[in-house]
Structure 1
């Protein structure tokens, strides 16, 4: 067997060819990563225009592990020091990659507001390492190839793009230091304003009207919007400087491409191992630079607009604008004053480390102040140069709109409303006040949310709740005369008896299918509000198993089954409603007693709060079906079976309506709690949910407010159905049955006796 060998040169050439073969596919991978980043930036732009938030919050393209990983892939060309890339497209692709990184960094600015302190530190550190690595690689390449600078087709543009990329990194680090302190300031101002609103508006929730609740939500909306860290960051001087730099980077990229077209009469000319994939990288990243520049440039224009507004025009050039506020350097001062090198035993070494840290932080503080003053100077120069054009444009716009404005009487009301809302607009010390049109835009946003909610309201649920003329169903669904299967009864939540009563109603024979479908449709929407109330008003883990037992609703609604029992089949096969109730009670009793026998004397399972959700659901079915069965036996409709079934179905519907009506009286508290019980990062979202909920339920609230409530709606007891039952029984003079009290313990075999009695019946 003979073996042939290639010569040394041929072998190296063959090996190099094999290594270069996958490089075009790697280029395609780089282009794909660039596409992902570009689409995320474009989504933020579309979201900003669609929501009329021209400060463009970061919703899709944020500073996180995913975006940093994609950018690391997209920057493959600038960090490639070994590949020969001297053709037109190859050189332009390197410039576009650096410009793309600069644009991405500018877009990251506002996302710092939605991150926690630890996330900010970790993410900014990761971005710092990535950018420094890219910059060093570019610098090494320039330094090593200085004798071939004449072959660098776009050498000046590459140097400028790398320099601006590094400058934007420093601006982002400076902004991150500010954000770490700003959140505490904003949250403190919000809490002060929240206390003022509470003392004025929420003394008695029973006196709140729909208009009053709307006004309350609108105040919290303004507070949440103006204290949103992303909103505050977008209006900062550093974001203004980022907008200017993004515009310059965009111009540099465009100039390089246009110059290459004019000089070389072509733009597509590749000579590297990446092949034609560099063309795709150039195209995609150029588009990404254009799209990514929209948000920073609009923030720059927004800052000029604020400075030129009527409210800030006189103070635009005041010396107070250049005053360094405490929150810009507070975190650096805190780090300097903190203890350091505590693990070093040697005193002189510990002193050296402490002094070195102090000198370093003093230097960083001066750099921070320099960056802030420079950014403020950029804003001042921008306002001086572009302000007259903006004012001229605004004047022309006002002249065109004057006739229309005078014909709308609502503007006068809006001016007064804006003046009222200005008190609730939060801002940092030294920041310019918001113009009236910005406050009016914020107010219009919440009005649109109200309208969206109104379009989503459920007319069927409203009609269903009109069936309730009292709240007696809150007591009537579970009689104290029903013997317990266990010496301790599990508590109730709002949703569980509603699900159980609906399951019983579906199982009744002789009920028109349309009535059943209508009931299920109304209960579906009512349960969504009931579960929201339980989630909002109950403490963490409170009645967790009881609430989980109500999740059987999905099985009831979708498959018309309750714990494997086909309710539709039961309805068809039952002779009358009594037989259907007895069958459901039998299944429920067997489920509970089988569980008791299996667990024996387990101490943990003696507490109903520890029962599995199916056992809690079965116990509820037993008690409620037995209660309804006793009501059925006492009724006088037995001569006409069809009439008896329909009468019982109507009785169950009325009970469900009573329970849901009592539950939904808590919506006022839920709306107000959603307005203010949230962290600063998600506060705006929470208030938006409150506004949407108010729009959906305004008609329901007006219906319930017209009724006499047996329990104060701002009472803690109102959140629990057992609290309602206790208060109503107390007011009606009803004595609690001894079997519902844990003090009177029946014999352990009492449940077995009940089971035998039912089975024999």
Structure 2
């Protein structure tokens, strides 16, 4: 052999060595991606057990771009066609990767229910491409190495796991096709039940009570839970088949590992360029298969449990359940009827495309029906085999429960409550009814959510609201006797005057720190509810800048500052409350006038709703500080300065309590609105928020409902503080100018004259 040929061989070997050098790190990267997927599946398992949702909704490991990317990385070994991987660990790692992909596909099943139609189509297509690519690569390797398959005992398990992976993909695609239609059916049933509940509430609830709200939330909770597409998919026959196949995949992988240990006496035998990282991949993905098999197995058990009637002594499975339902193939029928080839000009080619599409979709419909009927058959076999054991267990459990019920007073029997909730449980046509224990579990869930809200109650806010004996502060905080700085005044929202009044209270001299901290604590909690009410009852753009102006609260709460003015320093340096109020009014007027000079008569200045939030906040500070200043001048406590300051602080606190009390009367309406959401993906979360809110504010609602309200909480005006002001002014016989009247008030220069006189004072 010549020297030149030896040199070329050495160069090739050197290049190959350099290329193989980073492969162990690539294996570590594959192991890290497997860890991420395993942790996500484990998080779903923990979340299901913690929330006692043993159908395990997909919250962390869902079918999306992130999870698909991680799985593509985790499947590096099965798609590697060039690396020599014939050692025990290397071969087992390929099997574990295929089993890991199969388990991930089974876990993706219920996540289809929380996705939009477009996301389902795109994500399922991406998963289909990924699984088909892996499947083809695996069988290319097997076909190319068929001449010495007898040397490698791992091939049968690899073939079986790959076949089950492909079967799980078909089941997921079939479920996706069904979900596209079932979501519309479930939504229709929900809307019908929503109309029934509304009519019942209008007929029965003449007076709103916390017990009535609890019953309403519980009804919507059952409706949202049972119409949740994830819950429906988890109890479907296809999900049952996925659970069975996932269990078989786990057993095949376990059998392969046990067999290799018996044959080779070890699992740590690597010969590939991935090095010891292959062992880590095998260990991590095996753990992932174990963790990922928990959710499909429990969904399988749940589906079997639903079919085992607790009232009968045998396993029930009606022939009606094998009837072909419209929603199984509705989307395929729609696709077949669509004119997708209408843009093709050539008639014969257009006819060919149309006929080919029809034949393809007819075939897919037959496959869809076959998959669904096969899944039903698997469910029937599973129920028949495990049903007797379950019924025996249920009989023992029922006897124990009967003894416990007999030892309790008759009032302790809760069966009636379950019977009442059954009417609101929504199911698809052909699906079995929920058993009593499932409804009882759903009822307990909402009770636990109520308890979570109860633990969030604020005693300081409740005691603070007790200061309010009337709602006069809603009118008194802003007097129409205060000259406007502009010929049009911006309207008010609930939170802005509360923030402004609190800022003024902090700036008052001689007030103990404990009183200030107590006020801030109460206002902090009250503003959380006030902003929630504004967000829920106002439209997206309604009073947007006015509500944004109230965001200055963060600066007031955290730093005791208002637009850069140190309220604590102002309190210490002011001789009396009057001086503090004048300084705040002067600063506010200066801010507004500077803005007016810069903008002139532009469109922004003409419409107060378009003002910047700091200008709206400054205008509010001017009007309220001037109103409070007039209250201070009318006070009888000027002989004792400390007493005068304390009295003014009490007046401001009462005003804030009145405004918050009036605002929080809308809580019952917010809870009712949150119970119902048109978007099916948001209903469960929204009802949960309503239950927490009700639990946290029951004592506040009972306190407010004992008072005589000047305006009904169901009225549209009740959502706005200006609506309250107008109603109360009419009831009190006070003729004050409304905001619309102020548009014809004195021209802009009058505001300048007023502001100059204030600054001079």
TM-score range, shorter chain: over 0.9
Give the 3 Å change call, closer, same or farther, for CA 375–9 of structure 1 in structure 2: same
Deviates more, 1:312-321 or 1:323-332: 312-321
What's the CA shift for 1:411? 7.8
Measure the CA separation in 1 of the matches of 2:7 and 2:402: 86
Asked if structure 2 preserves the Cα contact closer than 8 Å seen for 1:246 and 1:296, the reply is yes
SS in 2 for 1:232: helix
Measure the CA separation in 1 of the matches of 2:480 and 2:313: 72
Other-structure match for 1:651? 651
TM-score (norm 1): 0.98
Give the 3 Å change call, closer, same or farther, for CA 491–314 of structure 1 in structure 2: farther
Q: How does 1:11-410 map to 2 (within 5 A)?
A: 11-202=11-202, 207-310=207-310, 316-409=316-409
SS in 2 for 1:749: helix
What's the CA shift for 1:153? 2.6
Asked if structure 2 preserves the Cα contact closer than 8 Å seen for 1:312 and 1:432, the reply is no
SS in 1 for 2:293: helix
Measure the CA separation in 2 of the matches of 1:179 and 1:292: 22
Which sections of structure 1, spanning at least 5 residues, go unmatched? none
Aligned residues: 759
Asked if structure 2 preserves the Cα contact closer than 8 Å seen for 1:481 and 1:737, the reply is no
What's the CA shift for 1:260? 0.5
What's the CA shift for 1:263? 1.1
Asked if structure 2 preserves the Cα contact closer than 8 Å seen for 1:186 and 1:227, the reply is yes
Measure the CA separation in 1 of the matches of 2:328 and 2:390: 29
Asked if structure 2 preserves the Cα contact closer than 8 Å seen for 1:483 and 1:739, the reply is no
Asked if structure 2 preserves the Cα contact closer than 8 Å seen for 1:106 and 1:243, the reply is yes
SS in 1 for 2:744: coil
What's the CA shift for 1:311? 5.4
Measure the CA separation in 2 of the matches of 1:46 and 1:743: 60
Asked if structure 2 preserves the Cα contact closer than 8 Å seen for 1:205 and 1:713, the reply is no
Give the 3 Å change call, closer, same or farther, for CA 25–184 of structure 1 in structure 2: same
Deviates more, 1:739-748 or 1:9-18: 739-748
Asked if structure 1 preserves the Cα contact closer than 8 Å seen for 2:89 and 2:270, the reply is yes
Asked if structure 1 preserves the Cα contact closer than 8 Å seen for 2:109 and 2:233, the reply is yes
Asked if structure 1 preserves the Cα contact closer than 8 Å seen for 2:491 and 2:739, the reply is no
What's the CA shift for 1:81? 0.5
Output one character per residue of 1:334-367: Cα deviation in whole Å (capped at 9) or x when no partner.
0001112111101111111111100000000000
Other-structure match for 1:520? 520
Other-structure match for 2:541? 541
Other-structure match for 1:426? 426
Q: How does 1:490-501 map to 2 (within 5 A)?
A: 490-501=490-501
Asked if structure 1 preserves the Cα contact closer than 8 Å seen for 2:315 and 2:384, the reply is no
What's the CA shift for 1:6? 6.1
Give the 3 Å change call, closer, same or farther, for CA 204–408 of structure 1 in structure 2: closer
Other-structure match for 2:532? 532
Give the 3 Å change call, closer, same or farther, for CA 410–221 of structure 1 in structure 2: farther
Output one character per residue of 1:572-615: Cα deviation in whole Å (capped at 9) or x when no partner.
00000000000000000010011001001102321000000000
Asked if structure 1 preserves the Cα contact closer than 8 Å seen for 2:315 and 2:388, the reply is no
Measure the CA separation in 2 of the matches of 1:146 and 1:747: 95
Q: How does 1:444-593 map to 2 (within 5 A)?
A: 444-593=444-593
What's the CA shift for 1:640? 0.4
What's the CA shift for 1:4? 10
Output one character per residue of 1:387-445: Cα deviation in whole Å (capped at 9) or x when no partner.
11111222233344443343234785410000000000000000010000000000000
Other-structure match for 2:625? 625
Measure the CA separation in 2 of the matches of 1:312 and 1:645: 76
Measure the CA separation in 1 of the matches of 2:615 and 2:318: 72
Output one character per residue of 1:259-309: Cα deviation in whole Å (capped at 9) or x when no partner.
011111111111111111110000000000000000000000111111112
SS in 2 for 1:7: helix
Output one character per residue of 1:670-701: Cα deviation in whole Å (capped at 9) or x when no partner.
00000003410111000000000000000000
Measure the CA separation in 2 of the matches of 1:174 and 1:137: 24
Measure the CA separation in 2 of the matches of 1:202 and 1:550: 36
Measure the CA separation in 2 of the matches of 1:158 and 1:223: 44
Measure the CA separation in 2 of the matches of 1:100 and 1:50: 25
Measure the CA separation in 1 of the matches of 2:95 and 2:375: 25
Output one character per residue of 1:231-277: Cα deviation in whole Å (capped at 9) or x when no partner.
00000000000000000000000000000111111111111111111
Measure the CA separation in 2 of the matches of 1:684 and 1:522: 30
Give the 3 Å change call, closer, same or farther, for CA 592–260 of structure 1 in structure 2: same
Output one character per residue of 1:143-195: Cα deviation in whole Å (capped at 9) or x when no partner.
11110212323100000000000000000000000000111111111111011
What's the CA shift for 1:21? 0.7
Measure the CA separation in 2 of the matches of 1:44 and 1:530: 34
Output one character per residue of 1:612-660: Cα deviation in whole Å (capped at 9) or x when no partner.
0000000000000000000110111000001000000000000000000
Measure the CA separation in 1 of the matches of 2:526 and 2:23: 59
1:613 aligns with 2:613: yes
Asked if structure 2 preserves the Cα contact closer than 8 Å seen for 1:453 and 1:692, the reply is yes
Asked if structure 1 preserves the Cα contact closer than 8 Å seen for 2:595 and 2:615, the reply is yes
Measure the CA separation in 1 of the matches of 2:258 and 2:516: 70
Asked if structure 1 preserves the Cα contact closer than 8 Å seen for 2:486 and 2:747, the reply is no
TM-score (norm 2): 0.98
Give the 3 Å change call, closer, same or farther, for CA 388–169 of structure 1 in structure 2: same
Measure the CA separation in 1 of the matches of 2:81 and 2:743: 82
Measure the CA separation in 2 of the matches of 1:175 and 1:408: 46
Asked if structure 1 preserves the Cα contact closer than 8 Å seen for 2:465 and 2:658, the reply is yes
Give the 3 Å change call, closer, same or farther, for CA 532–678 of structure 1 in structure 2: farther
What's the CA shift for 1:663? 0.1
Asked if structure 2 preserves the Cα contact closer than 8 Å seen for 1:190 and 1:223, the reply is yes
Other-structure match for 1:443? 443
Other-structure match for 1:749? 749
Measure the CA separation in 1 of the matches of 2:731 and 2:596: 36
Measure the CA separation in 1 of the matches of 2:577 and 2:69: 64
Give the 3 Å change call, closer, same or farther, for CA 36–242 of structure 1 in structure 2: same
Asked if structure 1 preserves the Cα contact closer than 8 Å seen for 2:309 and 2:316, the reply is no
Other-structure match for 1:726? 726
Measure the CA separation in 2 of the matches of 1:274 and 1:585: 74
SS in 1 for 2:242: helix
Asked if structure 2 preserves the Cα contact closer than 8 Å seen for 1:450 and 1:692, the reply is yes
What's the CA shift for 1:379? 0.2
Asked if structure 1 preserves the Cα contact closer than 8 Å seen for 2:217 and 2:690, the reply is yes
Asked if structure 2 preserves the Cα contact closer than 8 Å seen for 1:312 and 1:433, the reply is no
Asked if structure 1 preserves the Cα contact closer than 8 Å seen for 2:508 and 2:580, the reply is yes
Measure the CA separation in 2 of the matches of 1:464 and 1:721: 20
Give the alignment's Cα RMSD to 1 decimal.
1.5
Measure the CA separation in 2 of the matches of 1:742 and 1:21: 80
SS in 2 for 1:207: coil
What's the CA shift for 1:314? 6.7
What's the CA shift for 1:748? 2.0
Give the 3 Å change call, closer, same or farther, for CA 189–410 of structure 1 in structure 2: farther
Measure the CA separation in 2 of the matches of 1:754 and 1:498: 25
What's the CA shift for 1:206? 6.7
